[in-house]
Structure 1
């Protein structure tokens, strides 16, 4: 007979909870390898970027949007994401004044900001990228003045160059926070 058979339903649930917590703690330790930085790669226009995995909460297919009158052209509208209104920003239009074309690869990156969450429309998401912490600090400077305040450096991963894009700098930028005309 199993040792769990003698337990009351409450004791059995408590046993399962302890087992789940022990499992999740072990899984976190295995994933968080010291000295490695993990990010999410994405494309805006012709530029590829990577942002820390801790800066991006979620990736979504672009939901239905409701336009908001009297706002900057880069504010596409608001989306209902699980009962929460999330402003959707066309990141290509904000950065380069070029509208992001809708395609099957277009995604909305959900990013936390003071007072809520904001969705950033990008052309494509490449998925997770991993690199050594030391290598991340060796990135070349950003030459494009439109990006210099958000991109902390440029690095090569394989055959592709990525700008290290700081979402926290973006959401704190005064012009980003001022969407009203």
Structure 2
């Protein structure tokens, strides 16, 4: 057999036994947040808005403040005011004290703890599954502008930074 014919034969056998090229996989982008319960409703907050999650710390009451200001806590040498998020929104809490957690939010030089009914861990949603919020208590409307749908459930996104910048949040004195 001529050397060129031999090369053609090798090339033909290689093509016939070659695997197909890998399929192109569509890239899915995800939004990640911290899931939590508040007044019987599940929410998610942007991961970058939550500095840490704590069990409710020992609190020192502060006189002359609104009822939803639970007090201040010493968290690793820093004084952190802790607010009852459901109380601030005028909603009843639907959890016992053991399941409650504090979401610590840092914004600039300010650190605030927000008491929620429970933390549901990190949640991940495909960005193309963003939907408009519906059927939410009007108290949430100011701080929830979008939601993600997963497994037939909607997860409203609670804007914690919008909350801590809101005038009603900043007016804590009675």
Give me the whole-angstrom Cα distance separating, in 2, the residues matched to 1:62 and 1:52.
21
The answer to which of 99-108 and 56-65 deviates more is 99-108
| 8 Å Cα contact 1:59-1:109 kept in structure 2 | yes
Instruction: Please point out which of 122, 129, 135 is paired with 1:135.
Output: 129
Residue 170 of structure 2 is aligned with which of 172, 177, 180?
177
1:90 is aligned to 2:84: yes
DSSP 3-state at the match of 1:71 = coil
Deviation at 1:96, TM superposition (A): 2.8
Mark the CA change 1:93 to 1:58 in structure 2 (over 3 Å): closer, same or farther.
same
| Contact 1:154–1:161 under 8 Å retained in 2 | yes
Distance across 2 between alignment mates of 1:173 and 1:90: 15
Confirm or deny: 8 A CA contact 2:38 2:93 kept in the other structure. no
- SS of the residue aligned with 2:164? helix
Instruction: Please list every run of 5 or more consecutive structure 2 residues that lacks an aligned counterpart in the other structure.
Output: 1-26
- Quote the RMSD (CA, aligned, Å): 2.0
Q: d(CA) in 1 for partners of 2:90 and 2:128?
A: 30
Q: Distance in 1 between matches of 2:28 and 2:161?
A: 23
Q: State the shift of 1:101 in Å.
A: 4.9
TM-score (norm 2): 0.77
Q: For the Cα contact (< 8 Å) 1:92–1:100, is it kept in 2?
A: no
TM-score by length of 1: 0.75
> 1:102, CA displacement in angstroms?
4.1
For residues 175 and 95 of structure 1, the distance between their equivalents in structure 2, rounded to whole angstroms, comes to 10
Contact 1:142-1:152 at 8 Å conserved across structures: no
SS at match of 2:64: coil
Q: Matched residues in 1 for 2:142 and 2:51: separation?
A: 22
Partner residue of 2:151 out of 155, 158, 161:
158
Matched residues in 1 for 2:135 and 2:79: separation? 34
The answer to whether residue 56 in structure 2 is matched with residue 62 in structure 1 is: yes
The question of whether the paired residues in 2 share the 8 Å contact of 1:170 and 1:176 is answered with yes
- Residue 148 in structure 1 maps to residue 128 in structure 2: no
* Partner residue in 2 for 1:21: none
Q: Structure 2 residue aligned with 1:75, among 69, 75, 96?
A: 69
